[in-house]
Structure formats: C-alpha cells, structure tokens
Chains A and B, each alone.
Chain A
Amino acid sequence: MRYALRRLGFFVVTLWIALTLNFLLPRLMPGNPALAMMSKFHGELSPKALNALEILFGVNTKESLLSQYFGYLHQILTGNFGTSLSQYPASVSSVIGSAIWWTLGLVGIATFLAFVLGTGLGIVSAWRRGSKLDSVVPPTFVIVSAIPYFWIAMVLVLIFGLTLHWFPSQGGYYVTTDTPGLNFTFFQDVLNHAILPAVSLLIATIGTWILIMRNTMITTLAEDYVRMARAKGLPNRRIMLDYAARNAILPNLTGFAMSLGFVVSGAILIEYVFNYPGVGYMLLQAVSSEDYPLMQGLFLLITVAVLFAILVADVLTALLDPRTRTAS
C-alpha cells in the first residue's frame, strides 16, 4: 500500500513537471512562437477562444509569470485545452477524441502481440541457451532494434502495399468508398488498413521483449529453486514455464511500462508513413500547420497515457510480486 502511494506521488509529480514544461517551453523560446500563430488567426477567433489561447501561451498579458502559471494550471485542470486553430472552431479535446481510438487500437493490439510473442521467444531462447535458435534470435533482434521504425514501415509499404498489392498502405479506411459505422464491411476495411502498420510496430518492438525476457530468464534459471525442480525430476516444460518463466516475467512488467514511451514514439512515425488517422499523425499535422494548442494537447495526452500505464504496471507488479513489496 505504501509502495502504491509512493508511486502515485511520483505520478503526480511527473505530471506536474510535464504540465510545467508545456507552460514554459513556448515562453522560453526566442520570440514567443505562439505570437505569430495568434496574429495569423486574429479576427477569425471568438473573443472567448482568443482569451483561452492567451492564457495557454502567455500572449498579450501584463500578468506576472507566476499568476500566468496559476491561470494556466487552472485552465488545464478544468479540462480546457483551448481551441484547435487548424480545425477551428472545434475544441482541442474534441479533435483529439476523434483520433485517439485509432491509436489505442493500433498500439494496443501490436504491443500486446509483441509482448506475448516476444516473451515466449525469450523464454524458449533462454531455456535452450546455446542452441541454434538462441544463437540466431537475439543478435537478429539486436540489429532490428537499431532500425528506425519508419523504415520498417516504408519497406512494408513498398513490398506488400505497392508491389504485391496485398494490403492498403494509406489511411485508416477507404475514405471515398466507405463510411464509418458499426457494420461488417467497415470493420473489415479498418482491419485491412491496420495490418501493415500493426506489423511494422510489431517487428520494431518485439526484439526488446525477447532480449529483456531472455536476460531475466537466464538469471532466474540459475536460482536454486530451479535446480531443486530439476533434482525432483519434474518435466522440463513445467520447470521452464511454472518455475523459471513465472518468476522471470514479473520484473518485465516494469520494463514493459517503461518502454511504452518508445512504442508511442514509434507509433507516431509509423502513423506518419501510413497517413494513419491516429494521434501521432495528428501531432505531426498540428506541428506543420502551427496549431500549437492542438500540439500541446496531444503532447499532454501522450504523456498522461504513458505515465498512467507505468503507474498501472507498478501497482500490478507490487500486487503480484511480493519481492518488490519487501524490497521497497
């Protein structure tokens, strides 16, 4: 319980620092970049929207930095992220709301698959240390982990999208022929469009799970209880899964959460290559159209999502693994 509370405290502190970064960055940059953006849209914005943006970016205000800061915190904490400029007059929250499900689905499924498959391969690879599998798999994925995500995506687009025409390689569904709705054709369409981006993400991230799991598993295999299990003459399968893997997998939950930030980063680039209508693609569009309120909102959303996942993983680890409780 105390451990969980401490993690919660850390979550709050980190969130606060992320908010503060968001507040400070536009103000620290030479020539507040928001100024140009505001003047570009001047006259098109309603006074209320303008005021909200002024608070977000510290434009046209004679208030001290500190009172600006509190005004900013108040506005964010009441859920007002301002108005999107590129999709005026929609609010930032509603614009984000339309994109978030695409990313959640894509990243969620790909990450889950990568975790399950990668961990499985890691277990087998460590168990058969020195075998052919073990001498091929880890080095291969060391190299794969150095490949930029977007390049994997490009190669898949080129081969399976443009050359073989197996899967569509642009967008989230056929915008011209299909309308979003709860029907089978739309579902199938979405699935078809998701395959290449999901596989890109899977290839890019699976290596980490293999290597993490293999390394922890190797350490666990040296434990006395594993030797004990061998001495008892238990079947290999049972030693591998119930004795070694079960104990090796828990520390990985933390690693799993920690690397989510990297997965999200990768998803941004992959969505960019595929023009996939998720949060990452939207973030880059917000950047190129200088829609800073939307950009800030998306950065906050991504940060909160990653922090929340880490918190969940931490608490889960504490619940499942007594060792972490006594250690802390």
Chain B
Amino acid sequence: MAMPVSGVPTETPATQAPELGSARALGRIGRAVRLNRKATIGAVLLAIFILIALFPGVIAHDSPTQDAYAPQLGISTAHLLGTNHYGQDLFAQLVYGTRNVLIIAFVVGLATTTIAVLIGVAAAYLGGLADSSLNVVTDVLLVIPLFPLLIVIAAYAHGGTTLVLIAAITLTSWSYTARQLRSQALTLRNRDFLEAARVRGERPLYIILVELIPTMTSLLVAAFLTNALYAVLFASSLQFIGLGDPNTVSWGTTLYWAQNNAALQTGEPLWAIAPGFLIAALGAAFALLNYAFDEIGNPALRPVRKVRKKKGNEERAGK
C-alpha cells in the first residue's frame, strides 16, 4: 500500500493565483502532462487500461470464467498466459478483470474527493465550532489504521461485493484529502477576490462552488489520483485475502484463487504474478500522474530550483 508522500499535509501553501479559472487550470494541467515525461507515461498507461476495460471482448476471445481448457497449459499463441488450475484462460481473465478494478478506482476516487471537498472546504469556510468538530473527525480517521478497519468491516459484511468494497473504502479514506483541502481553503479564505464576492452579496454556496473550488483544480486532480491509487490497492488487497466476492472477475479475485491453490508453490507462478503485476502497473500509472501534479501543486520545490539550477532545461521540463 502506498503511503501519503508529502509528510506534513498542513503545510501545503497556496498553489496558484486565484484568478485562474478552472478551464485555464485544466489547460495548464494538460500542458504539464505533455511536457512531463513521467506524467506522459502515466497518462498513456492509464489510457491503455481504460481502453481494455471498455472493450475487453476485442482483445480477449476467451471467456474469463469458463473452465473450457485443459488445466495448467503453458504459454502459447492460443493462451498468451496459459491456463490455470481450473482450465480458465488466464489472459482473458485478466483482460476482463480490468473493468472491475477501474470502476472501483474511478468511483472511489471521485466519491472520496467529493466528500473531502465538502468537509474540508466547509470546515475552513465555516470556521468556529463546525471547523473544530469536522477537524476531530478528520484527524481521527487519519490515524486509525484503515486496512485493518476495512478487514473488520468486510468480515462482518461476509465478504464484499464490489458495491460494499466501494462504500467501505470511500467512507474510510477521504480524510487525508479533506485535511489538505482544508488548509488550502484556509489560506485562500481571506483573499480579496472572496471578499469581493462577499461584498457583492453572493451566497456562501455560490462563493464556495464558483469562486473557491475552481482555484483548487490541480489539487483536486492530485487528490483524485491519490485516492484512486489507494482504492486500487485496498480493493485488490481485500479481494486477494478473500474478503471480496470470489465470483467477481477482477485482478484481486484472480490472485485470491491463485493463493488458494498455492500457485507459486505448485509451478503456476504466472497465475499469481501476472495479476499482481497489472495492479502494480495501474497503480504506477496513477502514481506517476500524481507525482507530476505534486510538482505542479507544491511550490516548495521551486525556489530551490532557482537557487541551485544548473541544467535548467531538463528541470523546467520536469516542472
């Protein structure tokens, strides 16, 4: 499982000039992805996975669940990754399994980020008692070890269908982002452009949605990516240890059956290694994109670059 990389979440300073609209910010992000090699690799990887998830039937011509073949066939042109203990085509299983992981990643990523925005920005904007109480909830969730908590929840739910996994992960893992967004919103709260909106007599909801949130676009994108990455790792891990629905077609479930049949020890290593590799690759796609946005959103890296810049071009490209 990845850990949050920036050590002290409260110290995220204002990232960009507030007058930037969200469209321009998105344009900036698009340009950054093109210019940054890490981000480009991440984006391409992610695009490939999305295509596979959308059209699995085009790529794999076998059924992911049918025990149609002889068990433990080796690698061949008919079975790119061989067949497993049950005679299922492993390649087809992994291709069809992509959709489940991506759905979890995107739904959890969006849902956690939305909850985090609501709670973080509300806390910062409202201040006072609302802020303190929301803060306690956020801080508590931040320090309770999430994975054991998810294990307990999934155990009581008697194994999680995809929906249960999504709900459990979403409800437990929004706190880190909420904290980041709160401190970001706090630094912006007393800026002139917000004051101007208040003087114009705009309602708080309008100010938050139209004035405040667009200034945090790059932070939101980064938060989405981080949360999607966690979702992939958490959900696959839960499925791997048998707390998912064992009939779902997904990478984690494939791993579960591989582990159940001691695939590593009985000479079918691909059965366990291949799905794990795909999880790592999808995770890496999110992480690489996120690393790029971290560089955009964290100006702490910038002043140093000016001071110690020697090979300027390379580093400017890495911005």
Contact = CB atoms under 8 A, between A and B. Distances in A.
Contacts of B146: 261, 265
A219 B38 CA distance: 22
A145 B8 contact: no
A130 B306 CA distance: 12
B100 to A, nearest CB: 16
Interface stretch (B26-34, B115-123, B189-197, B309-317): B309-317
Nearest to B278: A151
Interface of B is mostly: helix
B82 to A, nearest CB: 16
B147 to A, nearest CB: 3
Interface stretch (B53-61, B89-97, B200-208, B296-304): B296-304
Contact of B147 (A10, A138, A268): A268
A13 B140 CA distance: 8
A222 B304 contact: yes
A251 B7 contact: yes
Nearest to A261: B145
Interface string B146-158: 1111011101111
A251 B99 CA distance: 40
A310 interface: yes
Task: Indicate the size class of the contact surface on chain A.
Answer: 35 or more
A149 B7 contact: no
B87 interface: no
Given A139-B38, A261-B143, A306-B143, A299 B148 contact: yes
Contacts of A255: 7-8
Contacts of A33: 155-156, 158
A295 B152 contact: yes
Interface in B156-206: 156-158
A158 B143 contact: no
B147 A130 contact: no
A243 B307 CA distance: 17
B283 A299 contact: no
B286 A146 contact: yes
A268 B149 CA distance: 12
A258 B315 CA distance: 31
A202 interface: no
B298 to A, nearest CB: 8
B277 A151 contact: yes
Nearest to A264: B145
Interface of A is mostly: helix
Nearest to A18: B144
Interface in A246-264: 251-252, 254-255, 258-264
Contacts of B124: none
Contact of B7 (A25, A162, A216): A216
A46 interface: no
A13 B6 CA distance: 26
A149 B1 contact: yes
A251 B300 CA distance: 15
Nearest to A263: B3
Nearest to B152: A299
Interface in A269-300: 269, 272-273, 283-284, 287-288, 290, 292, 295-296, 298-299
Nearest to B159: A287
B7 A212 contact: yes
A137 interface: no
B276 interface: yes
Contacts of B143: 14, 258, 261, 306-307, 310
Interface in A189-211: 204-205, 208, 211
A154 interface: yes
Contacts of B2: 145-146, 208, 262
B145 A302 contact: yes
B1 A265 contact: yes
B10 to A, nearest CB: 10
B182 to A, nearest CB: 16
A262 B1 contact: yes
Contacts of A142: 5, 38, 284, 287-288, 291
A151 B272 CA distance: 8
A155 B304 contact: no
A33 B159 CA distance: 12
Given A145-B2, A154-B273, A29 B156 contact: yes
Contacts of A150: 237, 240, 255, 276
B74 interface: no
A38 interface: no
A265 B145 contact: yes
A251 B1 contact: no
A215 B156 CA distance: 40
A155 B140 contact: no
B265 interface: yes
5 contacts: A18-B144, A129-B304, A129-B308, A145-B3, A266-B1
CB-CB nearest 10 A-B residue pairs: A146-B283, A265-B147, A255-B7, A151-B276, A261-B145, A146-B287, A147-B280, A259-B3, A212-B7, A262-B3
Given A142-B288, A261-B147, A303-B144, 13 more contacts: A17-B144, A21-B144, A25-B152, A146-B2, A146-B229, A146-B286, A148-B280, A151-B279, A157-B264, A158-B264, A162-B265, A215-B6, A264-B145
Interface of B: 1-8, 38, 136, 139-140, 142-149, 151-153, 155-158, 229, 233, 236-237, 240-243, 255, 259, 264-265, 269, 272-273, 276-277, 279-280, 283-284, 286-288, 291, 298, 300-301, 303-305, 307-311, 314-315
